[in-house]
Structure 1
Amino acid sequence: MAAVSGDLYVEVQMFYARQIAMLDDGDFEGFAGTFLPDGVFRPAGGRAEVCGREIIAKASEAASDRFDGAQPRHWFDMLRVTPEANGGIRTNYYAAISITASDGSTRWEPTCVVEDELVRVDGELASRSRTVVRDDLPSR
């Protein structure tokens, strides 16, 4: 794997910090707005892929129902960043979701591997596609 500049690595981390804070805070339109207008999200568990910001926002909100009012937190780690010749950026990272109820109890969802394709739009990063693969299910 080619070396990645520290500036790019930090920029990608900051993009994810902003993107996922919106998701965890219930700003589904803001989260979806970090995708291209025709962006693609392939969720874990064999659910059908969703395309476009409006559908990504609706699907994200619908998926949040499983938290039953508890606070989700998405945790990303082991980030690999690979610039592509066409200017795109591929990332691969591990993800886990903790869900904390109002009584302080916390549960975890199965861990996942996430693969993204990021692009620049007007100098800012945006998600072109995301694929989430759960570790407890058969691989791709």
Structure 2
Amino acid sequence: MRFMIIIKATPSSEDGTPPDEKLLTEMGKFNEELVAAGIMLAGEGLQASSKGARVRFSGDKRTVVDGPFSETKELIAGFWIWQCKSKEEAIEWVKRCPNPFNEESEIEIRQVFELEDFGPELPAEVRESEERLRAELASRQK
């Protein structure tokens, strides 16, 4: 099972305060543990929302809204993609994570859909197209 581990933003991550050397070292060690255990597939920190934008959809209309965005608790400061045997395993790994900001913070765990999760309702041509795309992406990463 793949999981997206979502590191929620805090006021300091949104104001652009960089993590200190101690936290960077701790997170680097944690990432090394994840890789050594075969858990981590990807992971990145994200710039503050002031450097981002949102595109709102309403029917055929598209509206671009530039950051910053006011609801810090709803923003994302970073993410990992992990391969775990269960949600419980992902939870145990998150509990071992250093506090991402040395302040009150939150990490969310969400399971990623796999093709088989869509069952027989997924048309064969869509399934084949997705499998081709995933194989192409995998070959680019080698």
Superposition TM-score tier, normalisation by shorter sequence? under 0.3
Larger radius of gyration: 2
Higher fraction of strand = 1
> Of the two structures, which has the highest relative contact order with CA contacts closer than 8 Å and spacing of 6 or more?
2
TM-score by length of 2: 0.27
Greater share of residues in helix: 2
